[in-house]
A and B are shown apart, each in its own frame.
Chain A
Amino acid sequence: MKDPNPTYISTTNACKLCKPLGACLAFRGVEGAVPFLHGSQGCATYMRRYIISHFREPMDIASSSLGEKQAVYGGGPNLKQGLSNVMKKYEPRFIGVATTCLTETIGDDVPGIIREFRQDARGEEPAPAEIVTVATPSYSGTHMEGFHAAVRALVEHLAESGEPTEAINLLPGLVSPADIRYLKEIVEDFGLPGIILPDFSETLDGPAQLDYEKIPAGGTPVAAIKTMGRSKATLEFGQTLFGQETAGTWLESRFGVPRRSLGMPIGLRETDRFFGVLKEISGRARPFRHAAERGRLLDAYVDGHKYLFGQRAVVYGEEDLVVGLAAFLSEIGVRPVLCASGGMSGRFQEAITEMTGGLLPEPPVVLAGADFYEIAAAAEGLVPDLVIGHSKGYKMARSLQVPLIRVGFPIHDRFGGQRVLHLGYRGAQSLLDRMVNAIIERKQETSKVGYGYI
């Protein structure tokens, strides 16, 4: 991928993370899984720290810990030893192996090494864990490409054909544990058996336990992934995935599972579209409690509209999250004046235009493949009232002296990042409340009067 208009050669304060991190997050959403990085020890440790700081949960990522010798002679023996040690210690049901820039560049044939490993382990008790590999060289694509590649690798390796089932596959992309729990609830309320992949709603937001769990409970069972080729339909979130080979397109082309491509259901319209598809597939009307939530959300749109109208927002983060947020903002009267991402799917601009068209007085400035140096420079001229995105934009928000509404990943400077709700009527309600309150708070705090009644 090439940045079509590289403004600068250097990158300052990136608005993206590396590809293997996305793969590790996706693998954490498989039941009984240990994510495994084939590379040097540092990658695993850095990503663990980064992920733990957001979720405040254990995040064990194993590593083949390559040293200089292995970098020269090949990392195969270390990979095998590492897998065998993980199996001994963690007794996982699943190991997701992602490569790194080191092992991609030295040219390790990871699928081949795994085949050998399986042959060596044949007949051993207990049976070795299921292993899925994905190539995630960090010099090609961001953490989101790594995330989607891992999800695709999971279904490619595991899904099987057979008798059709009544289930639907739901591929939500990178959303919060709270979002995933809510999605489960929605699908259940439509009476549909749903397979959400990945599902880290429990593994990355677990309860206090009696004991330290080697592998946290929860996650999409491997057995369920195996049946995904037989499901009734696949719902895949992410408008910038258009034209790419994804888990959804593979299930469609390989097993004929119809794929319904949807935007991230953020705000009223995209959530309505999501519910519309569920209604169509299940043949049921929108369940009452969701209809009630929708009604309350509309009511809040009205109650909050005067605080929000004309507010100018800078939005950044993963492309599909930003597209979803822009759709939402434009329907509540907030003007997303700048939409930016470190991603470079090539579909970002188009998706933003599509989602905000007809609702904005002028289209937002869209920056793809951007870092925070460029985002902050563009933001300054646009005089925003609000900044919406993850923690790494705090420096910019602070210098602009406007509130930062924290969404997405990572949230390293607030508590509860794993429980931020973005999706559906409920997520829109929560975002709306937070946004209106941020505006009120700012007005209150910058006022000389000190109103106690606003």
Chain B
Amino acid sequence: MEPAILKERQKQIHRKGEAPFALECNTESLAGAVSQRACVFCGSRVVLYPIADALHLVHGPIGCAAYTWDIRGALSSGPELHRLSFCTDLQEMDVIFGGENKLYKALTELIDRHQPRAAFVYSTCIVGIIGDDLYSVCKKVSQERGIPVLPVQSEGFKGNKRAGYHAACRAMFQLVGTGDISGISPHSVNILGDFNLAGEIWVIREYLSRMGVEVVANITGDGRVADLQRAHGAALNLVQCSGSTIDLAVMMEEVFGIPHLRVSYFGVEDMAESLYAVARFFKDPEMMDRTRDLVREEIAILMPQLREYRQALTGKKAAIYVGGAFKAFSLVKAFRLLGMQVVLVGSQTGTKEDYQELHDITDEGTIIVDDSNPLELSSFLKEKDVDIFVGGVKERPIAYKLGVGFCDHNHERKECLEGFVGMLNFAREVYNTVMSPVWRFMPRRSGAGEKGV
């Protein structure tokens, strides 16, 4: 056993081929293990944040609002209310006497100032303890101001990030079914689980439009309240990001009978297959023809450009640690397309099914890990001697300190990585870091023994 791994953590780590596959997951993070995970609030905030014409008010002390202020590349084509950070900034007296009054005043003040289409009110740890009645405050304000005001039950300690996804889905579901759905095409979809980082949802919408498919609601990248309200008029839900919005798709299936398809827009294979799956669903031969043409055209543009990168990168080794496991599936395939091998793959919030799938698509010897931490990850990176690590801001210094390249594939990124064009950007990102001359001067590579010398 590596010293970096605590006994309690061993069941959440698997090395493919060493034993029959088994991996524990979706458990509470181990105290003191320095998990890379956030909390329930984070899960809710991440999902709802891109709804650009809603007011997002964090009910709690300042931290939760401050750390989530305009940090993501979730773009809007219109209003940008989501880029402001609103908070009730609870003080000691509010904690003692209750924060409902302050919440009421803050909410009405902000609604009057910004005239949003709806408001989401996020509850934080402390609100769960002092017992503010969010529901009645939200209901009152909703009646007085005439817009939906939705409580989001996102107390940080009440589960993990997945619980936050669920709370967000429940809040959004309050909106679905309240709008007018006349005039929606029978060939229509909602896009779930895409957050329009660096304009990605616009790329996907353009593909769908070329296929002749109408998009009713973006959920939630470049999202709008009115679109969510008529989302039940769509014929199909496309669900990306397995964890975050699947609950909403399931609720919509149960109540409105709308089926859903799991998709991924990362990498050539998954992108093409997602579009074909949509065309197959609508059983329209012409649409299928258009889809084939689209994929052929895009690949014809992409492949020659990828060639140079593939040549340089073939044989290099990659490690992946991301929030949701779906992204990892696509990344494994995307790296293969670049001639690279994935030797470590893990996620913060993967499910049993997710990890089984990862196990099925990876090579022998690959390390599969759930809810990992810096010391484990650094020991795996060293052991596997990787050339690039894909993760988020918290994973970056782990790679860099070890003299390993890095690609940001998290919500802070400003590069479009979805679609066929995204595959090219991804290849360029990987190439730019792996091929940099700086690594050869780093202590681990230069053989310059002494620490820091």
- A residues sitting closer than 8 Å to B (CB atoms) are 1-2, 8-14, 16-18, 20-21, 36, 39-50, 52-53, 56-68, 70-71, 78-79, 81-86, 88-90, 100-102, 105-106, 137-140, 142, 206-214, 217, 392, 395
Contact = CB atoms under 8 A, between A and B. Distances in A.
A78 B401 CA distance: 31
A14 B65 CA distance: 8
A65 to B, nearest CB: 5
Contact of A67 (B124, B130, B157, B374): B157
Contact of A139 (B70, B110, B126, B392): B126
B33 A85 contact: yes
22 contacts: A1-B91, A9-B109, A11-B65, A11-B86, A11-B89, A14-B87, A53-B393, A53-B412, A57-B397, A58-B397, A65-B29, A65-B30, A67-B28, A81-B30, A88-B6, A101-B125, A102-B129, A105-B129, A206-B401, A210-B451, A212-B398, A395-B70
Contacts of A59: 397
Given A1-B91, A60-B375, A209-B452, 6 more contacts: A10-B106, A40-B156, A42-B39, A42-B156, A43-B39, A212-B382
A106 B155 CA distance: 14
B437 interface: no
Contact of B157 (A21, A58, A90, A102): A102
Interface string B46-65: 00000000000100111111
Contacts of B128: 71
A133 to B, nearest CB: 15
Contacts of B84: 12-13
Interface stretch (B195-203, B358-366, B441-449): B441-449
Max chain B C-beta neighbours (<10 A), residue from A106, A208, A212: A212
Nearest to B90: A139
A372 B13 CA distance: 45
A45 B42 contact: yes
Interface of B: 3-4, 6, 8, 28-42, 57, 60-70, 84-95, 102, 105-107, 109-110, 124-126, 128-130, 156-160, 374-375, 378-379, 381-382, 392-394, 396-398, 400-403, 412, 442-444, 448-452
A58 B90 contact: no
A212 B126 CA distance: 36
A2 B91 contact: yes
Given A52-B394, A61-B34, A65-B29, A138 B62 contact: yes
Contacts of B30: 65, 81, 85
A65 B35 contact: yes
A219 to B, nearest CB: 15
Contacts of A11: 62, 65, 86-89, 106
A208 B443 contact: yes
Contacts of A61: 34
Max chain A C-beta neighbours (<10 A), residue from B33, B88, B94, B412: B33
A17 B38 contact: no
Contacts of B125: 39-40, 71, 100-102
Max chain A C-beta neighbours (<10 A), residue from B30, B86, B157, B379: B157
B441 to A, nearest CB: 8
Contacts of A58: 374, 397-398, 401
Contact of B35 (A12, A36, A45): A45
A48 B38 CA distance: 10
A63 B3 CA distance: 20
Contacts of B91: 1-2, 139-140
A83 B34 CA distance: 11
B444 A210 contact: yes
Contacts, number: 248
A67 B42 contact: no
B158 A208 contact: no
Given A12-B84, A56-B397, A71 B129 contact: yes
Contacts of B130: 105
Contacts of A209: 401, 443, 451-452
Nearest to A210: B443
Given A20-B63, A41-B38, A208 B92 contact: no
B32 A41 contact: no
Contacts of A14: 62, 65-66, 69, 85, 87, 89
Contacts of B35: 41, 45, 63, 65
Contact of A46 (B63, B87, B400): B63
B229 to A, nearest CB: 25
A41 B61 contact: no
A211 B444 CA distance: 7
A9 B36 contact: no
Nearest 7 pairs of A and B residues by beta carbon: A42-B39, A18-B63, A85-B32, A82-B32, A82-B31, A10-B106, A212-B378
B67 A50 contact: yes
B392 to A, nearest CB: 8
Contact of B85 (A13, A18, A42, A206): A13
A102 B155 CA distance: 10
Nearest to A107: B129
B445 to A, nearest CB: 10
Given A40-B156, A44-B34, A207-B452, A101 B61 contact: yes
A105 B401 contact: no
Nearest to A71: B157
Contact of B42 (A9, A42, A86): A42
A31 B402 CA distance: 21
A56 B399 CA distance: 11
B62 A62 contact: no
A281 B435 CA distance: 54
Contacts of B392: 49
Contacts of A138: 61-63
A52 B406 CA distance: 15
A368 to B, nearest CB: 14
Given A10-B57, A47-B67, A41 B62 contact: no
A43 B48 CA distance: 19
Contacts of A50: 67
Contacts of A83: 32
A46 B442 contact: no
Nearest to A18: B63
B31 A63 contact: yes
B106 A60 contact: no
B92 A139 contact: yes
Contacts of B452: 206-210
A17 B394 contact: no
A213 B95 CA distance: 40
A366 B379 CA distance: 51
Contacts of A47: 63, 67
